[in-house]
Amino acid sequence: MYPLKFENLYYNKIWGGRDFELFRSNLPEGEIGESWDVACHPHGTSVISNGKYKGTGIDELIKSEGERILGTKIPQERFPLLVKLINAKDKLSVQVHPNDEYAKRVEGDMGKTEAWYVVEAFEGANLIAGTKNCTKEQFKEAIKQGNLDQYLNKIDVEPGDVIFVKSGLVHAIGEGVVIAEIQQNSDTTYRVYDYNRGREIHVEKALEVADLSLKGEKSKGIKIEKEGYSKTYYCLCENFSLEVYTIVSFCMEYSDNERFYIFTCVDGGGTINYEGGSEKVSKGDSILIPAFLGKYELNGNMKLIKSYVPNVEQVKKEVLDNIIR
């Protein structure tokens, strides 16, 4: 086993742009809104770009290697995560995602909880997370009247900000940002309001699943200082854990036979060294650490998002062990 890198899957969007060119040189023509960087979904499946398995789809590799890639605690029937980069030159639709129970019953798919990490923020950059001072009746009427903005909780953002978007939270990505999005492996989205772009909206379903009591805010995180690096725990739920490593020189870690990890580089660069080789890491790269990789080192000057499906109680204990002396 070795750290797996992937081809970027690019998608044109009416609100997209060219800002991925700040750190990538492989963009196709068009207004690129999304790059699916670790994906195993009917709408897009990653292809490995390095090493022995170069050219192999991640779905094929899982069939042949199973738990050696995913881990002993991760079901092989459905890859659990989807990692994207999003470039919004214009604001996205206001939307909401259902929880698993509703999505399975109504759509035959999983629900969607996600988290955003702001990679780039330009003048006026903002995100919408939650609503303010309204009932569902007022919300529905505002959609009809075209004046929903008054009820949306708009948050100005800068690079490094993290926002947890639970299923049921009304949200939107505003203009002027590049976002790393970690989410459940689902494409189930209900548009509430689309600024008269003429696309399909799903008001009734959205209102059924929206929880207007949910509050959106920047995650403060819990930062742990280590020799050579720091680690900040930002989001933890049964679907994923999101942690940010700031590597100053090096960090030595071990893979977990029970689960895989994904590292996404959001600033700087370096290498991942492992028994048998080394992989270069640059801004914008996502790399999957197979469950059975063993010891590896993160070297360089870089900032990495680590995402994975956690043992929640184990992560809680890990945090507490670091802050209680």
Buried-exposed string 274-298: b where 16+ CB fall within 10 A, e elsewhere: beeeebebebbbbbbbbbbbeebbb
Concerning whether 105 is annotated as a catalytic residue, the answer is no
Q: β-strands 162-165, 114-121: how paired?
A: antiparallel
Q: Which of 71, 91, 80, 82 is nearest to 1 (CA)?
A: 71
Amino acid making up residue 256: D
Burial of residue 203 (CB within 10 Å: 0-12, 13-18, 19+) is middle
State the catalytic residue, choosing from 24, 78, 105, 191. 191
Q: Could you give the strand order of the β-sheet that contains 32-38, starting from the edge strand earlier in sequence? A: 9-17, 32-38, 81-88, 177-184, 114-121, 162-165
CA 251, distance to chain mean position in Å, is 23
CA–CA gap between residue 15 and residue 179 (Å, rounded): 13
Per-residue b or e along 170-195, where b marks 16 or more CB atoms closer than 10 Å to that residue's CB: bbbbbbbbbbbbbbbbbbbebbbbbb
Residue 287 CA to residue 114 CA, distance in Å, equals: 19
Active-site annotation, residues: 191
